[in-house]
């Protein structure tokens, strides 16, 4: 009788407590790190036998935390009956030739990538910015186009893989923007949050690279036309050059059918009209044809390097607190939000001054009941900082309390549209982040309204008063 067992996919990096020991030795001048892991540990996931018979090898330096833990995760996958019936995999070996363990001992989070944005991220950002501009236009057709773009972005966000390790790192924002209601009346702060946390997670399902590049070019033109930017001339010239090459492929039936659109794209009158719906139709009609263009080939360079290991082998204990620290932070933030009705937390959230006794009682509740561990663990995770300001940063400031705090500015004078937008951004920032340092008023998203920040929007007296009010709101989160 044949025995079959269905095994679940290892859909994410398992954050587990593993019982292990490690030792190092040298074989043929190569450092070998051996890790022994108990195969009977109930926390380990049973996974498919992919990579089961070959040990993880690190022959290139990895500075990405996600990639590093992915390599470790491959080794922790179990393989039932690997060496015979009832004889399962119980250990694995890692060959680390590039001092990855030393590096991540010192920098558990790795190095943040400085590479350019992916094409998928650029497309998401372009569509978001374009949608924002379109919905502020007067024409009904443009407003509908903007709403259609926004709906597509919502669907993209909802389709993110919730089991992905990378997506989980931005789970707070992903969960927020999976709700379509969160996209209503987006503020500058919301758009910055989408740029920082959602856009980098995007991956286009369309595999036609040339078509996607053409999409980005055409969307950028539409945005430049609506904003009256000078760069539109250069972008349009790129399109004219591209369709000129496409016109030479008229022998292909699908290209010949779209020749009217190709001719339009080479006509100066078409671009002078600045007709956004027409530019969008041009994009949709020609994008599938771009793949027929002959692009110049790129020279491929091959390199070969040889390295030799010199020196004594060293033992490196596998003690990494990054994943545990990340889980601890999520636990703290969730606990504070669940207890937002606690008397002292309620006062902090509603801009009411707290006393030293109230803060002491709150500290005892957090650290002496055992749910959040000790204060030393808290300091290790977040560093030394005032507890009240930290809590305000997690739970935010109540929107009504924020509006009340700036009532004399909002109701004491007539504000123009730029000033109203600036004050709305301050209130939204307080609602989300809880604290605003005055220096932030000269940084994005405030400089997105005026490049000079608050001084470019208000006169000196009003600017000083707003800063004074901000400092006052910050101070209510501290002991009187």
292-319 burial string, b = 16+ CB within 10 Å, else e?
A: ebeeeeeeeeeeeeeeeeeeeeeebeee
Burial class (CB in 10 A: 0-12, 13-18, 19+), 63: middle
* H helix or E strand, kind and range, residue 93: strand 92-96
Kindly report, residue by residue over 150-181, the tens digit of the pLDDT.
999 999 999 999 888 788 888 889 999 999 99
* H helix or E strand, kind and range, residue 33: strand 30-37
Residue 49 has pLDDT above 80, yes or no: no
Domain residue limits at 385:
322-395
Residue 221 has pLDDT above 90, yes or no: yes
Kindly report, residue by residue over 289-319, the tens digit of the pLDDT.
998 887 655 566 777 777 666 666 665 544 4
Question: Which residue did the predictor score with more confidence, 412 or 134?
Answer: 134
Residue 244 resides in a domain: no
Please report which residue ranges of 339-373 form alpha helices under DSSP H.
343-349, 356-367
- The pLDDT score that the predictor gives to residue 313 is 61
Residues 37 and 90 in one domain: yes
| DSSP assignment string, 384-397 | S--HHHHHHHHH--
Residue 247 resides in a domain: no
Residue with tokens 């390097």: 305
State which of 205, 226, 250 marks the end of a domain.
205
Question: Which residue did the predictor score with more confidence, 282 or 444?
Answer: 282
Local confidence band at 14 (pLDDT 50, 70, 90 cut-offs): very low
What total number of domains does the chain contain?
A: 4
132-164 burial string, b = 16+ CB within 10 Å, else e?
A: bbbbeeeeeebeebbeebbeebeebbeebeeeb
**SS3 of 457, please?**
coil
Flag the least confident range among 68-77, 86-95, 142-151, 449-458: 68-77
Residues 164 and 92 in one domain: no
- The pLDDT score that the predictor gives to residue 26 is 45
Kindly report, residue by residue over 265-287, the tens digit of the pLDDT.
999 899 999 899 999 999 999 99
**C-alpha distances out from residue 256 to 188, 246, 275, 287, Å:** 44, 10, 24, 14
State which of 174, 205, 236 marks the end of a domain.
205
Q: For the chain, what is the mean pLDDT?
A: 80
Flag the least confident range among 3-12, 85-94, 293-302: 3-12
Residue 58 has pLDDT above 90, yes or no: no
Residue 344 resides in a domain: yes
In the chain, pLDDT over 90 holds for what percent of residues?
Answer: 38
Residues 369 and 433 in one domain: no
Sheet of strand 57-58: strand arrangement: 20-27, 30-37, 92-96, 57-58
Kindly report, residue by residue over 331-358, the tens digit of the pLDDT.
888 888 888 888 899 999 999 999 988 8
- The pLDDT score that the predictor gives to residue 36 is 46
Residue 264 resides in a domain: no
Local confidence band at 115 (pLDDT 50, 70, 90 cut-offs): low
Kindly report, residue by residue over 358-406, the tens digit of the pLDDT.
888 888 888 876 667 788 888 888 888 888 999 998 889 999 999 999 9
Tokens of 227: 């904003």
* H helix or E strand, kind and range, residue 32: strand 30-37
Q: Please, are residues 149 and 131 in contact by the beta-carbon 8 Å criterion?
A: yes
Residues 383 and 411 in one domain: no
Residues 6+ apart with CB under 8 A from 251: none
Residue 41 has pLDDT above 70, yes or no: no
Residue 306 resides in a domain: no
Residue 77 has pLDDT above 90, yes or no: no
Measured on CA atoms in the order 276, 281, 284, 285, is the torsion positive or negative? Answer: negative
Tallying the residues shown for the chain, one arrives at 480
Residue 33 resides in a domain: yes
Residues 163 and 92 in one domain: no
**SS3 of 371, please?**
coil
Nearest to 469 by CA among 390, 409, 389, 386: 409
Residue 233 resides in a domain: no
Residue 265 resides in a domain: no
State which of 106, 129, 153 marks the end of a domain.
106
- The pLDDT score that the predictor gives to residue 278 is 94
Flag the least confident range among 107-111, 189-193, 407-411: 107-111
DSSP state of 26: E
- The pLDDT score that the predictor gives to residue 42 is 39
Nearest to 75 by CA among 61, 86, 91: 91
In whole angstroms, give the CA distance from residue 61 to residue 77.
22
Residues 372 and 425 in one domain: no
Residue 323 has pLDDT above 90, yes or no: no
Local confidence band at 189 (pLDDT 50, 70, 90 cut-offs): confident
Residues 28 and 91 in one domain: yes
Local confidence band at 188 (pLDDT 50, 70, 90 cut-offs): confident
Rg for the chain, CA atoms, rounded: 28
């Amino acid at each position: 009788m044949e025995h079959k067992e269905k095994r679940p996919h290892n859909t994410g990096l398992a954050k587990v407590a593993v019982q292990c020991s490690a030792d190092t030795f040298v074989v043929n001048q190569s450092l070998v790190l051996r890790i022994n892991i108990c195969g009977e540990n109930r926390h380990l996931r049973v996974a498919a036998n992919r990579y089961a018979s070959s040990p993880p090898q690190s022959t290139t330096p990895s500075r990405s935390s996600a990639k590093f833990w992915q390599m470790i995760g491959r080794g922790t996958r179990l393989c039932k009956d690997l060496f015979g019936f009832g004889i399962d995999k119980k250990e694995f070996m890692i060959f680390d030739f590039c001092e990855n363990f030393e590096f991540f001992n010192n920098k558990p989070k790795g190095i943040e990538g400085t590479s350019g944005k992916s094409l998928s991220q650029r497309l998401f950002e372009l569509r978001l910015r374009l949608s924002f501009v379109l919905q502020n236009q007067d024409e009904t057709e443009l407003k509908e186009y903007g709403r259609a773009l926004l709906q597509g972005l919502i669907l993209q966000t909802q389709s993110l893989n919730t089991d992905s390790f990378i997506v989980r790192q931005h789970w707070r924002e992903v969960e927020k923007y999976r709700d379509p209601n969160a996209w209503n009346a987006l503020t500058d702060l919301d758009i910055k949050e989408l740029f920082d946390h959602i856009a980098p997670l995007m991956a286009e399902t369309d595999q036609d690279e040339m078509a996607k590049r053409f999409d980005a070019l055409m969307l950028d033109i539409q945005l430049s036309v609506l904003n009256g930017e000078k760069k539109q001339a250069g972008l349009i010239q790129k399109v004219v050059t591209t369709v000129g090459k496409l016109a030479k492929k008229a022998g292909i039936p699908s290209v010949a059918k779209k020749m009217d659109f190709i001719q339009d794209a080479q006509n100066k009158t078409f671009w002078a009209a600045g007709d956004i719906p027409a530019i969008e139709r041009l994009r949709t009609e020609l994008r599938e044809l771009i793949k027929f263009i002959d692009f110049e080939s790129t020279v491929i360079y091959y390199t070969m390097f040889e390295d030799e290991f010199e020196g004594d082998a060293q033992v490196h204990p596998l003690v990494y607190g990054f994943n545990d620290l990340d889980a601890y932070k999520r636990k703290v933030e969730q606990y504070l939000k669940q207890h937002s009705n606690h008397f002292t937390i309620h006062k902090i959230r509603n801009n009411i001054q707290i006393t030293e006794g109230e803060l002491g009682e709150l500290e005892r509740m957090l650290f002496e009941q055992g749910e959040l561990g000790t204060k030393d663990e808290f300091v290790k995770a977040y560093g030394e900082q005032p507890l009240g300001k930290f809590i305000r940063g997690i739970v935010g400031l109540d929107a009504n309390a924020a509006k009340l705090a700036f009532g004399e500015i909002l109701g004491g004078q007539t504000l123009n549209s730029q000033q109203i937008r600036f004050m709305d951004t301050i209130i939204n920032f307080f609602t989300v982040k809880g604290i605003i340092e005055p220096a932030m008023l000269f940084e994005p998203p405030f400089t997105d309204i005026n490049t000079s920040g608050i001084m470019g929007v208000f006169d000196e007296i009003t600017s000083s008063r707003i800063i004074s009010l901000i400092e006052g709101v910050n101070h209510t989160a501290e002991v009187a």
